[in-house]
Amino acid sequence: MTTRSWWRHGESYRMSRLRTKNSPLYIGGIGNDTNTDNELSRQWLVHTALDALEERLASNNSNTTGANTNNTRTDLRDLYLGLLYSTDTHKIYGYVTNTRIKLVLVTSSTSPSGSNIRDAEVRTALRRLHALYADAICNPFHLPGDQITSLKFDKQVKNLMLNNV
């Protein structure tokens, strides 16, 4: 199996109502494994990763509120949450925007070259994805909270992943 990057992109927070929607906004991926069963299992994977993500968010928040303001500043900048958890086959990385849009990146645990995926790579990839997402929802016809169906976005995301791989 070639390296498969698999993005999940979702978890919009509706701040106005203070309730999480936690439903996927966009799911996309590259790789040769398009089996629906695997697809579903990956979705389970991402779904369960949300727990860890939220927990990390919460702990971050408590840290920042309790700690000094320096921390807050850095925390505000650091939207990247790092590795959420890994399984035998996949690694799951998290990223949360300031508007609590959660970006989750799933990669296979091993890259074909054998080298581990570096943290920095993932970080930049997620940052770029964030930028793409921001572009995508700038579309005035997009309703926040709806699934993103833009073909352009899809293409761009896939490009991004291919380049990173």
Partner 1 sequence: MSFTPRSLATNVISMRSSVSYILSHAPGESVMSHPDYGQHAQHHACLLVLVKGIGGMLKNFNKLWERIQKVNNIKVTDSSGQVRDIWVRYVRDYPVENNDWGDFQTHRRLLGLITLSKFTNQIELNEVCRVHESLKVKYTNTLYDSRAFMFGPISKKPEQEPETYSIFEDDKTSKESSSLGEKFSLPSDQADSLSSAESYPHSSSSTTSLPIQEENYTTPSNFKTHAMFYSENDPVTDLEQNVADLINSLFWVVESKRLERSREKIEKVSLLLAPFEKKDFVGLDMESRNNKKRCMGRVTKNLADLTLQSGLIADSLNLYHNAAEILKAVNDWLWLAAAKEGLCAASAILLYPNLRNPTPLQRNASLQESSPNKTKPLSLFQPNIDPFKKYKLPSSPLRSSKTSSPVNPPSELTPSSSESLETSSRQSETDNADTESLASSSDIEYQSQKSFYMSDHPSIPRQPSQINNQYLLNGEEIAEKYRKAIIHYSKYQNAGIIETEACFKAARIAVEQNNSLHASSFLQNVIFINLTLSEQEKIQRFDTLAELYKEIGFLRKAAFCQRLAATRQVSPNNPNPDWQRCYYLMLHSFPGHRLSLDPNYVIQHQVGWPALQIQLLQELVVAARRMGHPALATRHMTFLLQTMWPHLSRQEHRDLAIQLQALSAQCEGGPVPLVLETGEVIPPANLTHVPRCSAFLPRPPPSPRAPHMLKCKPQQGPFIFTPIHFGSLERKARKDEGKMEYLWVEDDICEVQMKLTNPLPFELKVSNMRLLTSGVVFESIPETIILPPDSPTTVNLHGTPKEVGELQVLGYSTHTLGVKSNCRLKNMPTPNKFLPSYTIEVIPSLPTITIETSVAPSGSVSLSSLENVGSTTNITLYNGESTECTMRITNTSNVPIEYLDIAIQSNMDSQLQSKVFQLSNEDIQAQLPIPPNESATVTMKLYGEADFLDLGGVGGENLFPNSLTSNYPSRVGSPVPNVQSSLPTQSSNAQTSLSSGLIPNRTSGSFRSSNSHTTSWSAPISVMPPSRGRQVEAQVIIRYSGGSGKEVHCRQSTLQINLELLPSMSITHWDVLPAEIPSQLYLVLDVTNLTSEEMDFHYTPSKHILIESKESCRVPVPLDRCPFNLTSRTNEESNSEDMLECKSTVTGSSVTSVEELCSAHVTEHVSLSWQLLHSETRGKASVKGITLSQAMIDIVRMSPLNWEVSVNKQCIKPQEELNCTAGECLSLGVGVWNHLRRPLRQLCLSVQFYQDYNNGVHTYKLDNRLATAGNNKIVLASLPESSKAYHECTVVFLTPGEYKIDIQCSTTEPVLEDIPVIGDTDHPSIIQPCPGEVSHVWRFIPPVAISVTD
- Sites of contact with partner 1 (CB under 8 A): 19-24, 40, 43-44, 47-48, 50-52, 55-56, 59, 83, 85-88, 109-110
Q: How far is the CB of 52 from partner 1 (least distance, A)?
A: 6
Q: How far is the CB of 64 from partner 1 (least distance, A)?
A: 16
Q: Name the DSSP class of 67.
A: S
Question: Please, which residue, 128 or 142, has the CB nearer to partner 1?
Answer: 142
Q: 3-state class of 158 per DSSP?
A: helix
Question: Please, which residue, 79 or 85, has the CB nearer to partner 1?
Answer: 85
Q: E strands, 69-161, where?
A: 80-86, 90-96, 102-108
Question: Please, which residue, 50 or 106, has the CB nearer to partner 1?
Answer: 50
Q: How far is the CB of 84 from partner 1 (least distance, A)?
A: 9
Those residues with Cβ within 8 angstroms of residue 87's Cβ, 6 or more apart along the chain or in another chain: 45, 109
Beta pairing class for 13-14 and 5-10:
unpaired
